[in-house]
A and B are shown apart, each in its own frame.
Chain A
Amino acid sequence: MARIMSLADAVAENVRDGDTVAMEGFTHLIPYAAGHEVIRQGRKDLFLVRMTPDILYDQLIGVGAARGMKFSWGGNPGVGSLHRFRDAVENQWPRPLDIEEHSHAAMANAYEAGAANLPFAMLRGYIGADLPKVNPNIRQVTCPFTGEVLAAVPAIRPDVTIIHAQRADRKGNVLIEGIVGVQKEAVLAAKRSIVTAEEIVEELSPASPNSVVLPTWAVTAVAHVPGGAFPSYAHGYYPRSNAFYIRWDEIARDRESFTAWIKENVLDATPVDFARHAAQTSAKVA
């Protein structure tokens, strides 16, 4: 059964130095508040997994919390580069970063294989592409029925997966709606999971019997963190701050301005600081 606790306790109990950590949310519901808590608690040597590293992993890489990263698209969507990621790969600052690079299709399949308790995923992928030449974890498997050769990648099995959700109930059942990405697969593939939620409600009241619900017995910890997905968004609560994504380009371009931003907005901040993003924008929507 999931335990409802503070974000600080959830991270302290479930994220350990050296862990393989997946923080998922495909553009939507990215668990920023939880990622910042991981930075604040000084976790190190993490192996980060995420399809689109986004600004959140730029921050974790920039503070030196990561030894490596498995990913499929490492940019600032619609804006350009992730400068801290680039600095780590191009100049090994603040430390070298081992990268394991895939395509989106392969990552999605690998999460699904993890959730399904299979050792690997297969797909009709990477044909004529160079990634298999530089990533030894992209191999081939032959169909025993047709002889077709398919791409194979290892299942993703994180030590801990962290996601953000719209709602949880008091028992710890979790609901996510809208662009649901790979969160369900990422949670079910992991040994432990942390969910931050916009609201804790009496009744979950899923919109339909087919809504994406993660039951309390498949989740480790739930923390109430309104606004916790900012500057990404929570569908039905507040919109994506495209303005911040554009502004990040300038903040992260320079090591000093990045470090100053992290001190002010992460190290000297708390999860409660995210609430103003929820309040501010939902008032505007209404």
Chain B
Amino acid sequence: MTDFTPNEMMTIAAARALSNDDVCFVGIGAPSAACNVARLTHAPDITLIYESGTVGTKPDVLPLSIGDGELCDTALFTVSVPEMFRYWLQGGRITTGFLGGAQIDRFANLNTTVVGPYDHPKVRLPGGGGAPEIASNCGRIFITMSLTKRGFVEKLPFVTSMGHGEGGNHRERLGLKTKGPTRVITDMCILEPDPETKELTVVSIHPGVGRERIIENCGWPIKFAETVIETPVPTDTELSVLRDINARTKKAHEGTGTGKEAA
């Protein structure tokens, strides 16, 4: 077994959540890495869509923004932004949305807008972008972010995008027919909503991580499922694919552009 970092374990565990048949709306950052590792390992035919309008993209290096030229160059086709959000997302064509966030609560609602009051924020974050409608219009949502007390909070100052709201059947009550968040992948464990209460519950713990550390790093009293498994360690293939794409990406982003001209 090769050594791996918690961050590598997180990306690989997130990649495993995706399958070949997914049509996936990809958030930038950690979700983008996970989606491309999936494409380069077990899900070669997955359709990756970025909100810039690039559909079926196969980037060789991870984009820094959601609209790098690399995405358009390698896409099956590229549409305008209104078409992206109207026909493809709101039209119900996307099976899976993959999001990150600054803060999450126990019902997988996300905040990327403000810390503190909206009118006088302590910290002004970038905002929602595509997330509010990705969260409601995709068939299901995966979320990936590191497990920290700052990120996993008892109460969100602002709900940028809805997960399971107040829990239970809140989504249904608002007329939503999509599943919402079905899995949250962190650097220590994987959480899934309880079937009834919809509260995020630990279902799998990454190798070498103890329950105490998970409890310490979560801002609410975190629950564990009746059966908790150990996340399988990354395979050599998974690790080498992830490290290769990260190395290509680092080299490219330090240069002027996509990295292609440097290759």
What residue in chain B is nearest A129 (Cβ atoms)? B132
- Say which one of B37-45, B195-203, B228-236, B249-257 lies at the interface with A: B249-257
In the complex, A179 Cα to B67 Cα: how many Å?
7
Q: Are A131 and B53 in contact (CB under 8 A)?
A: no
Contact with B along A154-183 (1 / 0, CB 8 A): 000000000000000000000000111110
Q: Are B123 and A104 in contact (CB under 8 A)?
A: no
Q: Are B159 and A284 in contact (CB under 8 A)?
A: no
- Which residues in window 101-131 of A have CB below 8 A to B? 101, 103-105, 108-109, 111-112, 123-131
Check: B137 CB closer than 8 A to any chain A CB: yes
Closest 7 CB pairs of A and B: A239-B257, A27-B67, A128-B162, A75-B126, A77-B65, A73-B129, A78-B64
Instruction: Name the residue among A86, A240, A242, A243 with the largest chain B CB count within 10 angstroms.
Output: A242
Which of B85, B159, B162 sits near A104, CB closer than 8 Å? B85
Give the residues in chain A near B194, CB-CB below 8 Å. none
Give the residues in chain A near B122, CB-CB below 8 Å. 90
Q: Are B72 and A178 in contact (CB under 8 A)?
A: yes
Q: Are B66 and A27 in contact (CB under 8 A)?
A: yes
What residue in chain B is nearest A244 (Cβ atoms)? B256
Which of A71, A105, A125 sits near B127, CB closer than 8 Å? A71
What residue in chain A is nearest B117 (Cβ atoms)? A134
State whether A129 and B128 are in contact (beta carbons under 8 Å apart), knowing that A26-B52, A108-B81, A180-B80 are contacts in the complex: yes
State whether A105 and B90 are in contact (beta carbons under 8 Å apart), knowing that A129-B159, A242-B252 are contacts in the complex: yes
What residue in chain A is nearest B160 (Cβ atoms)? A129
A→B interface (CB under 8 Å): 26-28, 51-52, 71-75, 77-79, 81-82, 85-86, 89-90, 101, 103-105, 108-109, 111-112, 123-131, 134, 148, 178-182, 184-185, 212, 233, 235, 238-243, 245-246, 280-281, 284-285
Which of A130, A181, A184, A280 sits near B160, CB closer than 8 Å? A130
Interface size classification for chain B? 35 or more
Number of residue pairs A-B, CB distance < 8 angstroms: 204
In the complex, A240 Cα to B129 Cα: how many Å?
21
Q: Are A112 and B82 in contact (CB under 8 A)?
A: yes
Which of B64, B124, B160, B175 sits near A79, CB closer than 8 Å? B64
- Complex A-B: 21 CB contacts under 8 Å: A26-B81, A74-B124, A78-B65, A90-B124, A101-B113, A101-B127, A103-B129, A105-B133, A109-B82, A112-B86, A124-B133, A129-B132, A130-B160, A131-B132, A178-B78, A179-B78, A212-B80, A235-B72, A280-B256, A281-B256, A284-B261
